[in-house]
Structure 1
Amino acid sequence: MKFPPFARWGLAVLLLSGASSEAQPTAALAPLAYYELAPGTSRPTGWLGKQLEIMRDHSTGHLDETYPKLRDRNGWLGGTGDGWEETPYWLDGAVPLAHLLQDKPLLAKVQRYIDWAIANQRPSGYFGPLTKAEQQAGHLLDIRGTQGEDWWPRMVMLKVLQQHYQATHDNRIIPFLTKYFRYQLANLQAAPLGQWSEWSTVRGGDNLLVVYWLYRQTNEPFLRELGELIYQQTTPWTTYLGNRDWVMEAAANQTSAHWMNRHGVNVAMGLKLPVVYAQAHPDQPQLPQALRTGWQDIMTLHGLPSGMFSADEDLHGNLPTQGTELCAVVEAMYSLEQAAALTGDLTYLDALERIAYNALPTQTTDDYENRQYFQVANQVQVARGVFDFSLPFEHGMNNVFGQYAGYTCCTANMHQGWTKFATHLWYATPAKGLAALEYAPNTLTTTVNGNVPVAIKEDTAYPFGEEVSFVIDLKKPTAFPLVLRVPAWCPEATVLLNGQPLRTDGGGQLISIARTWRTHDRLTLRLPMVVRTSNWARNSRALERGPLVYALKITEQWQENRHADEGPYFTIIPGSPWNYGLPHAVVEGPTRTTTVAVKPLAASANDFYWNATNAPVTITVSGRRIPAWQLDAGVAPQPVTPRDGVYKGAVEAASETLTFIPYGCTKLRVVALPVIP
């Protein structure tokens, strides 16, 4: 069944809220704080549109043509090749990208995988690539129980199918998922999540998320029973996050004992489990509290200036020499996007913004063809080596930029980062309004207040600029609430309506503007961005302005190489000094000791800004070199400072002007600097 674009949001809210003309809930799930909008409801423009177009024209749009594991005899198309996680990972980003850009070739490409999965569902409900037994038999079998294979890659494909349904309302998806979940309920006792791999056990929250999503569509009672079973078989992330012993142990233990529970990507996925499960248990406040406690503890013990935690591969403390896996970045973003919708907690929205605008862009090349397995906070070179990682591959390829360097999971999984962020700029509200909870240039087309069509053009240079304008297009005056986020970093925001001051609000809150809107109304949110500093490991300091963290600009000298097993890759060596300290005067008065220069962003979407050459904002400040701060075993260990936070070693007498650019625009950088007298 096809629905016109304007009708999609109204139907989506009906479905997500659990209302149905054919069935009434036997036990309703807790109300959602916000409702997700379908991929494609908003159309990214400006710099974000350019980012997505680059992805479409390069690896995201063509990975199935260039990556042998996806290209050759793909198991998710019925072949005998790879049938594990990487094709679903790629689709998990390629499907929303196709809808965000309404790109017909990419839509047709991803549709093949969806159609094959649906057409080849077994009578029992099992789906996915041919099992080894089926390959030997030469035809499909009615797979049951232990005849199946790993649950984990199917969990990723469930998310793909959910997004496909949200965008298209393909009437095959609900029966397909219902049949598969009946299969799970019938077989999880004989073949539990951990039957084939521990990956399924630690990542069961992704499975549970789609089970509860489907329950909101169908009200099928068996889904509640299945949800309880999946939760019982999943790693107890609620206990780990809420009881605190786990996160402290993870800071101290780097052995092989229970390493899957410290694996950064698993942690990033597991974050959402308490609030996902809380949908079925709204009378248990300890569930959402577990995530609040766990997120604070993780960022306290393992947090890095980019907004992410160390994950190289395990949680590994907060020193700026630690690394973070790209898969952990995109999975943490997805968990925070879900936590925001489920709880409405501003903490997760602020955290999502910081990761998206700092950690995410730095870890891929401008053409979106190469990526780092591990990024490092203070990354003064990009080179082969084992460094200070908890997973030092013998190849020493974890830090270089390449298509396949390190584990290739990131080659396939990186595509969901920008695409899902773009689909979660906006949410719908229970009051039949809209909520702009993350800011980037886009145009939203949806409905409000009883299915009234509305288009909102979000015109902004954010996160580089401090003004966000919303221009509203309506066929008739319509009353609805518009919710805006005032980030915690903003001391005070100003809201203007059609150029006239409307209100001022302090930071760290969501504000609702409920009124009768008319076409051409312009609502402008001004978020003053002042320079500030933040404190990190060993009393180091980072410069911040608005949602962006700034890093010392280092001249980059790229070198291309080739590894026999992992293909072409790039290393980067510094072409300028990096071992500087930040004067204590900057910590005491960052606004009066720094100079900010902002370049206007081009009106067209033809410019790419996430690199050192095109960085739209620079901060200049005086600093002095620390001669003793040198590379040691390939990294730049943080100089030790006493309690007062001021480095006591020798410092050059001459001051130099230092240039800082957004962290996300760097490949080489020092972001956490020692403080000097």
Structure 2
Amino acid sequence: MRICSFSLIAVTLLSAAALAQPTAPLANRAPLAPQKYMEMPLGSIKPQGWLRDQFLIMNQGTTGHLDEYYPKLKNDNGWLGGKGDNWEETPYWLDGALPLAYLLDDKPLQEKVLRYVNWSLNNQRPSGYFGPLSKYERETGKPVTSGEQGEDWWPRMVMLKVMQQYYQATGDKRVIPFMTKYFQYQYNNLAKTPLGKFTEWSTARGGDNLLTVYWLYNLTGDKFLLELGDLLNKQTTPWTQYFGGRNWVMAAAAQQNDTAWMDRHAVNVGMGLKLPVVYYQGKKAPQLLAAFKTGWTDMMTLHGLPHGMFSGDEDLHGNDPTQGVELCALVETMFSLEQAISITGDPMYMDALERMTFNALPTQTTDDYNSRQYFQMANQVQVSRGVFDFSLPFDRGMNNVFGPYAGYTCCTVNMHQGWTKFATHLWYATPEQGVAALAYAPSTVTFPASGGTMVTIQETTNYPFADQINFAISAAKPVSFPLELRIPGWCREATVLVNGQKLRSDKGGQVIRLMQVWKPGDQITLQLPMQVTTSNWGRNSRTVERGPLVYALKVAAKVDKKEEPKEGTYYEYRPESPWNYGLLQSVVKDPVQNTQVVEKPFPAPFVWNEASAPIEIRTTGRQIPNWQLVDGVARQPVSARDGYYKGEVSDKTDSLTLIPYGCTKLRIVAFPVVK
């Protein structure tokens, strides 16, 4: 049998799949531990307001059109039967493009991504193996029958996530037998062809594989899937041991050598975070959840940065504000936290997810979503070619510039899942046929409540810039269901109103439950008063915060478009206004009295940039003359343990304008403090 002549089957199934309705929320099947919250199927949640603006930009830019011009995707794609990309880049792109197609109900994008889905579904080998032709198949013309004839397990893990989302959105019945056959293939072959047979990436990232195995078990109840889960956990990097044992995270802060560097690789760490909480479902061992919490807390203590993400350039690299953060690591960590929220229900992870999403994520891409940085810096006052303080200094020095392909191109294709996965995890289902709003952004959610009554809740808000969130209930008749709302940890006291009347007040750091009969047209208002505060970060620096946002000095920039022979177009940003300021001690001691919050009309459409920033914080500071760029880096001045910079400081007090970090390209966010 020759399979090299695979041809695309005409997409006669497209219309039925595209018009299908989202599936129902899926609860864990015994003996798996029950989730605290269940994921909503793709399509149940729709973006509105500024979030929809973001998705429209993505659809018009790289997310919607990358396959039309990026050679690795465009030319003879292996995931369509060709000889081109046969590894991670096409599945990475689909992992963001497919959910975008269903979030926007965009039929052209659905048609585009379904070409790849249909090819994989229609060309699965009899053994269960799927995906591009392996070297064995190309050389022999015979289909893969055993593990050693196949290729790297890793890219198939990503494609399984794509298939899971596709099934949730459409209910396409082909997906379940397809995944069952593949997992039987894994179950039969992993002993002799383990995850690490082809690359270390599969060993590090087995938690993603485990996630889809448990998801399929909940649909089919096939017992072999639980055994497969144990096998995958055993063959995966021991992240649970690392996170719970603590020695690993301390060693990662001290070493950037080549010993076990894959265990310090920030993208692997971001993916590995989910392993203990996902495996907890199979084992119900509390120490697994404890290991995750210990690891997360330790990592943010030793490697955390003000924007909410840990350093990783590419290694974990401490908490200095000029260390880098890889975009891939950011979006993978977001996804791991979204899984931890579902399984644990811990508000700490909800706060962490919002902080990195609203701060670190938007700054790392351009307004048109066509260029991105491989590494961003927290204190970033120049964007240019160079090696800086990163642990991966490419010879061409392209890690910090903006460009479609600058640095490794994994970020070109993987960045698309960040916003789309966040949108699909704004709401979760509860075991009592209710819903929980655990992260906030303008959206609608539709779900079946008790008795099968369909309910839609419209969430209207300019959060994270505004402190009020409004929910409007639509249903055919009055219906009883629980509505759970997160009160963020930064909020001292929240107020809930129903139809304009105060219902209750609650302290921050918890999820509250509202249980009553809801009538069509009911209005729920959540007020989350935001107060200006400061927080302490690496090298005794201070960051100004308000609500879920951190604020950075607004630095004017000159943008230059350039070309690099191997990596193409890129953009450099040079400062055109002073940036070397310290915050006055009065701001740190009493930030409320020594800052002014200025709210502006919310722009439509909204773009994460300096001009569109809908809120400013105005305060005061003084210049530090000796704080200058050295080799393109604004290395942090040393402060004494009392918190103040002791060097030369200007006698002149200047007014400073701070804007949300996510709206900046050049900035200071970790300030020295001066008297």
Note if 1:38 corresponds to 2:50.
no
What is the CA–CA distance in structure 2 between the aligned matches of 1:446 and 1:12, rounded to whole Å? 8
Q: Secondary structure at the match of 1:280?
A: helix
Q: Pairwise mapping of residues 122-201 of structure 1 onto structure 2 (< 5 A)?
A: 122-137=125-140, 139-201=141-203
State the match for 1:82 in structure 2.
85
Q: Which amino acid aligns with 1:264?
A: A
State the match for 1:611 in structure 2.
609
State the match for 1:16 in structure 2.
27
State the match for 1:22 in structure 2.
none
Q: Pairwise mapping of residues 498-647 of structure 1 onto structure 2 (< 5 A)?
A: 498-602=499-603, 606-647=604-645
Q: Alpha-carbon deviation of 1:3?
A: 9.9
Q: Which amino acid aligns with 1:386?
A: V
Aligned mate of 2:247, from 240, 245, 248: 245
Whether the aligned pair in 1 keeps the contact of 2:558 and 2:574 (CA below 8 Å) is yes
Whether the aligned pair in 2 keeps the contact of 1:16 and 1:213 (CA below 8 Å) is no
Note if 1:378 corresponds to 2:390.
no
What is the CA–CA distance in structure 1 between the aligned matches of 2:454 and 2:618, rounded to whole Å? 47
What is the CA–CA distance in structure 1 between the aligned matches of 2:478 and 2:300, rounded to whole Å? 45
What is the CA–CA distance in structure 2 between the aligned matches of 1:504 and 1:3, rounded to whole Å? 45
Q: Secondary structure at the match of 2:283?
A: coil
Q: 1:291 to 1:660 in 2, by over 3 A?
A: same
What is the CA–CA distance in structure 1 between the aligned matches of 2:402 and 2:487, rounded to whole Å? 36
Q: Alpha-carbon deviation of 1:136?
A: 2.7
State the match for 2:113 in structure 1.
110
What is the CA–CA distance in structure 2 between the aligned matches of 1:553 and 1:220, rounded to whole Å? 56
Whether the aligned pair in 2 keeps the contact of 1:316 and 1:390 (CA below 8 Å) is yes
State the match for 2:323 in structure 1.
322
Note if 1:95 corresponds to 2:98.
yes
Structure 1 gaps of 5+ residues are 19-26
State the match for 2:305 in structure 1.
304
Q: Alpha-carbon deviation of 1:45?
A: 1.0
State the match for 1:454 in structure 2.
455
Q: Which amino acid aligns with 2:392?
A: L
Note if 1:676 corresponds to 2:670.
no
Whether the aligned pair in 2 keeps the contact of 1:6 and 1:445 (CA below 8 Å) is no
CA displacement, residues 248-301 of structure 1 (integer Å, 9 cap, x when unaligned): 00000110000000000000000010010000111x110000000000000000
Q: Secondary structure at the match of 1:570?
A: strand
User: In terms of mean alpha carbon deviation, does 200-209 or 447-456 score higher?
Assistant: 447-456
Q: Pairwise mapping of residues 308-457 of structure 1 onto structure 2 (< 5 A)?
A: 308-457=309-458
What is the CA–CA distance in structure 2 between the aligned matches of 1:76 and 1:623, rounded to whole Å? 55
Whether the aligned pair in 1 keeps the contact of 2:37 and 2:431 (CA below 8 Å) is yes
What is the CA–CA distance in structure 1 between the aligned matches of 2:206 and 2:21, rounded to whole Å? 33
Q: 1:4 to 1:457 in 2, by over 3 A?
A: farther
Q: Which amino acid aligns with 1:12?
A: A
CA displacement, residues 359-414 of structure 1 (integer Å, 9 cap, x when unaligned): 00000000000000000000000000000001000010000000000000000000
State the match for 1:21 in structure 2.
none
Q: Secondary structure at the match of 2:340?
A: helix
Whether the aligned pair in 2 keeps the contact of 1:6 and 1:447 (CA below 8 Å) is no
Whether the aligned pair in 2 keeps the contact of 1:490 and 1:507 (CA below 8 Å) is yes
Q: Alpha-carbon deviation of 1:455?
A: 1.0
Aligned mate of 1:52, from 34, 52, 55: 55
Whether the aligned pair in 2 keeps the contact of 1:372 and 1:401 (CA below 8 Å) is yes
Q: Alpha-carbon deviation of 1:5?
A: 9.2
What is the CA–CA distance in structure 2 between the aligned matches of 1:336 and 1:394, rounded to whole Å? 34
Whether the aligned pair in 1 keeps the contact of 2:560 and 2:571 (CA below 8 Å) is yes
What is the CA–CA distance in structure 1 between the aligned matches of 2:76 and 2:488, rounded to whole Å? 48
Q: Which amino acid aligns with 1:436?
A: A
Note if 1:278 corresponds to 2:273.
no
Q: Which amino acid aligns with 1:232?
A: K
Q: Which amino acid aligns with 2:262?
A: M
Whether the aligned pair in 2 keeps the contact of 1:7 and 1:446 (CA below 8 Å) is no
Whether the aligned pair in 2 keeps the contact of 1:313 and 1:325 (CA below 8 Å) is yes
Q: 1:40 to 1:441 in 2, by over 3 A?
A: same
Q: 1:500 to 1:5 in 2, by over 3 A?
A: farther
Whether the aligned pair in 1 keeps the contact of 2:42 and 2:168 (CA below 8 Å) is yes
Whether the aligned pair in 1 keeps the contact of 2:539 and 2:636 (CA below 8 Å) is yes
Q: Alpha-carbon deviation of 1:446?
A: 2.1
Q: Secondary structure at the match of 1:671?
A: coil
CA displacement, residues 185-212 of structure 1 (integer Å, 9 cap, x when unaligned): 0000111000000000000000000001
Whether the aligned pair in 2 keeps the contact of 1:40 and 1:99 (CA below 8 Å) is yes
Q: Alpha-carbon deviation of 1:17?
A: 3.6
What is the CA–CA distance in structure 2 between the aligned matches of 1:482 and 1:140, rounded to whole Å? 55
CA displacement, residues 10-43 of structure 1 (integer Å, 9 cap, x when unaligned): x523x4343xxxxxxxx52000111111112111
Structure 2 gaps of 5+ residues are 1-12
What is the CA–CA distance in structure 2 between the aligned matches of 1:486 and 1:506, rounded to whole Å? 7
What is the CA–CA distance in structure 2 between the aligned matches of 1:502 and 1:372, rounded to whole Å? 46
TM-score w.r.t. the length of structure 1 is: 0.96
What is the CA–CA distance in structure 2 between the aligned matches of 1:449 and 1:627, rounded to whole Å? 65
Whether the aligned pair in 1 keeps the contact of 2:18 and 2:110 (CA below 8 Å) is no
Q: 1:7 to 1:569 in 2, by over 3 A?
A: closer
CA displacement, residues 311-355 of structure 1 (integer Å, 9 cap, x when unaligned): 100000000010000000100000000110011111111100001
What is the CA–CA distance in structure 2 between the aligned matches of 1:662 and 1:179, rounded to whole Å? 48
What is the CA–CA distance in structure 2 between the aligned matches of 1:349 and 1:448, rounded to whole Å? 24
Q: Which amino acid aligns with 2:193?
A: A
Q: Secondary structure at the match of 1:646?
A: coil
Q: 1:75 to 1:4 in 2, by over 3 A?
A: closer
Q: Secondary structure at the match of 1:593?
A: coil
Q: Which amino acid aligns with 2:634?
A: A
Whether the aligned pair in 2 keeps the contact of 1:7 and 1:447 (CA below 8 Å) is no
What is the CA–CA distance in structure 1 between the aligned matches of 2:116 and 2:538, rounded to whole Å? 46
CA displacement, residues 571-617 of structure 1 (integer Å, 9 cap, x when unaligned): 00000000000001001100000000111324xxx422310011001
Q: Alpha-carbon deviation of 1:142?
A: 3.4
What is the CA–CA distance in structure 2 between the aligned matches of 1:632 and 1:476, rounded to whole Å? 66
What is the CA–CA distance in structure 2 between the aligned matches of 1:126 and 1:4, rounded to whole Å? 26
Q: Secondary structure at the match of 2:647?
A: coil
What is the CA–CA distance in structure 1 between the aligned matches of 2:520 and 2:90, rounded to whole Å? 44
Q: How many residues matched? A: 661
Whether the aligned pair in 1 keeps the contact of 2:435 and 2:483 (CA below 8 Å) is yes
State the match for 1:225 in structure 2.
227
Q: 1:5 to 1:82 in 2, by over 3 A?
A: closer
Q: Which amino acid aligns with 2:227?
A: E
CA displacement, residues 126-147 of structure 1 (integer Å, 9 cap, x when unaligned): 000011222234x451331201
Whether the aligned pair in 2 keeps the contact of 1:16 and 1:217 (CA below 8 Å) is no
What is the CA–CA distance in structure 2 between the aligned matches of 1:424 and 1:566, rounded to whole Å? 34
Q: Secondary structure at the match of 1:279?
A: helix
